[in-house]
Amino acid sequence: MRAIRGATQVAENTREHILQATTELLAEIMNRNGLTTDDVVSVLFTATPDLNAEFPAFAARKAGFHDVPLLCAAEVDVPGALPRVVRLMMYAGVDRPRADIQHVYLHGAMSLRQDIAG
């Protein structure tokens, strides 16, 4: 089992923008890592406090993660932190070295982890 990290910056705090950005992030993670939803054990989403128009997990349900356990939580409200960010940690049942895992950071969130962002 491996943990896969990802994050994206959402353009606006609207339902549509949160769903679109989360769907894009999930698709990139799945594609870059060659995963199907059957490989995914669970996904933990966090959103910065300024994103409250929709649950990021709802985008995952709409994208086919029907029987995958999903959880949303609020990110720590650190002064000066990058705004409007959805983060996730996906646990996947894959048998490959940790170094082969592709972590995905999109849009403004690329600045968060340039050391592992692919």
Q: How far apart are CA 4 and CA 67, in angstroms?
A: 19
Summarize the annotated binding site as residue ranges.
Answer: 5, 87, 105
Half-sphere exposure of 93 (CA within 13 A, CB side): 8
Catalytic residue list: 5, 61, 72, 75, 87, 105, 113
Closest CA to 90 of 57, 55, 52: 57
Residue type present at position 68: V
List residues forming the annotated binding site for prephenate.
5, 87, 105
